[in-house]
Each structure stands twice: as structure tokens, then as C-alpha cells.
Amino acid sequence: MDIYNTEDFKKKCRVFGIDLSEAQVEKFMVYYELLTEWNSFMNLTAITEFEEVILKHFVDSLAVCQSEIFRNIVESSGRKKRISMIDIGTGAGFPGIPLKIVFPDFRMTLLDSLNKRVNFLNEIINKLNLKDIEAIHGRAEDFARQQIYREQFDFSVSRAVANLSTLTELCIPFVRKDGYFISYKSERVKEELSAGMKAIGILGGNMADQLEYELPDTDMKRSLLFIRKEKSTPKRYPRKAGTPAKEPLS
């Protein structure tokens, strides 16, 4: 698709250690077109301008690739085992779809409580011909109680869904022991972090790393939190749907 200038996108990805192939770039462009097309009749994103979607949705979703923890796990899994990942509250597919395009071998699950968005995700999965990926409709609190999802994933990831205390209760239950919950946050993470530490401990996690970075060629600051699952999550968590947001663990 020559109508887009994709050189800058590729350059920004290289900052995070990703060398996109032409086929991958093409998938991102189709994704961009469908995102803006569907956004004209449903609420998917407030950001629609090309350069902004590239930076704030696509490149930001891929920021995890710069982390040593992430790279080590992906590289050491090699051919032995395929990485499994669940994206909680994925919305229009961020960060899950960009990560699936870059890592086609990942077994990816996208979860969102709004069915219209799940319909959009299924359209993307079909049009981009993605394999080993499912988009499921429902609340994290309910899916985390099902055996086939609970403590099954190498990574759970989430961006822009809730404050850290609430989010840990939604995300940590999906992670297998020694796996990671990776939370995409803005730069104002400090307060959330002190409020979230107790919840992280109760749910079996431990704060392993915090990565602060700027979106390439900008001064926009972001943070990634890496929470390692050290113990099984007690059976009573997550509490029933809505409670983690109404009464965050503290």
C-alpha cells in the first residue's frame, strides 16, 4: 500500500528493536484502514490521524519489545514452547493485535466486555489472516474463574483499562506461575504503584521491574510495569464482576 509513508513507522519500531517486514507493514496498514472505517460508525478510538495512530497505538503497543525480561522469555522459549498471551480490555486490539502481527507464533487471546469491539476484532483477525488468535467477549472477572483461562498464560497485558489495584485483580489470575502481568501505564504511575503494591502481593505477584520510556522522536513519557507471578492466586480472586473497580484491594 504505497499511499502511506511507512518509513517513519519502521524507523520508530527499530528504536524498540523490531525490524518489520514488508508483509507486516502491510498488515498494519490494513488494520489502520479498517480501524478508521469502523470508527466512523462505532466508538473504537479517539485517535484517527495516520501519524498519531502509528505512534500512540501501533508503536506504543510494541514498546514491550524493548524490555529485557520480555525478550529473554521470548528468546528462551525458542521452538520448545509457544508463548501464550492474553490482552485484557483490548478495545480495538491494543496492544494485542500489534504484538500478534510482530510475533505470529504467539497464541493470543483478546478479551473485551463490549461485544461490538469483539466483532471488530474478528473482522481484523479475518482480514489480516491471523492464526492462533481468539477474540472473546466478556468480563475478565468471569473468564478468570474458568479453568481453561485461569493461570494458563505466560503473559497477561493490559493498556488503559483501570487503575493498578483494580487491574491486578483482573489480570494476575490469568498468569501461570513464573509468568508476567505487564501493565502499560502513562508517566503518572507513582501514586498508583504505591496503592497497588498490596493488591499485587495478595494476588500472588511481585513487582519485578518498571521501565520508563519515551515514544520514539517525542517527549511523551510512558511506563511499563512487570509483575511476576510468584504464587498461585487465592481462589476467592477475582471477586465478582464490578467489585474490583468498586472496591479496589488496598
Give the footprint of ligand SAM on this chain (CB under 6 A): 88-92, 94, 111-114, 117, 139-141, 159-161, 170
Q: Shortest CA distance to 10 belongs to which of 44, 40, 54, 49?
A: 54
Residue 99 vs 170, nearer CB to ligand SAM? 170
Nearest to 134 by CA among 177, 87, 81: 87
Please give the single-letter amino acid code of residue 213: Y
How near is the Cβ of 3 to ligand SAM at its closest, in Å?
A: 25
> With the C-alpha atoms ordered 232, 147, 161, 181, is the resulting torsion angle positive or negative?
positive
Shortest distance, CB of residue 117 to ligand SAM, whole angstroms? 5
Closest CB to ligand SAM among residues 88, 203: 88
Q: Which is nearer to ligand SAM, 35 or 83 (CB)?
A: 35
Q: Are 181 and 199 in contact (CB under 8 A)?
A: no
Classify burial at 49, counting beta carbons within 10 Å of its beta carbon; exposed 0-12, middle 13-18, buried 19 or more.
exposed
Q: Count the neighbouring beta carbons within 10 Å of the beta carbon of residue 191.
A: 10
Q: How far is the CB of 166 from ligand SAM (least distance, A)?
A: 9
Of 33 and 142, the one with the shorter C-beta distance to ligand SAM is 142
**Residues 104, 180: Cα–Cα separation, whole Å:** 20
Contact present, 168 and 200 (Cβ < 8 Å):
yes
CB 67 to ligand SAM: min, Å: 18
Distance, CA of 234 to CA of 169 (rounded, Å): 11
Q: What is the DSSP letter of 114?
A: -
Phi, psi of 132 (to 5 degrees): 55, 50
> CB of residue 122 vs ligand SAM: minimum separation in angstroms?
15
Looking at the Cβ atoms of 42 and 230, the one nearer to ligand SAM is: 42
The distance of closest approach from Cβ of residue 76 to ligand SAM in the complex, given in angstroms and rounded to an integer, is 27
Pick 30 or 114: Cβ nearer ligand SAM: 114
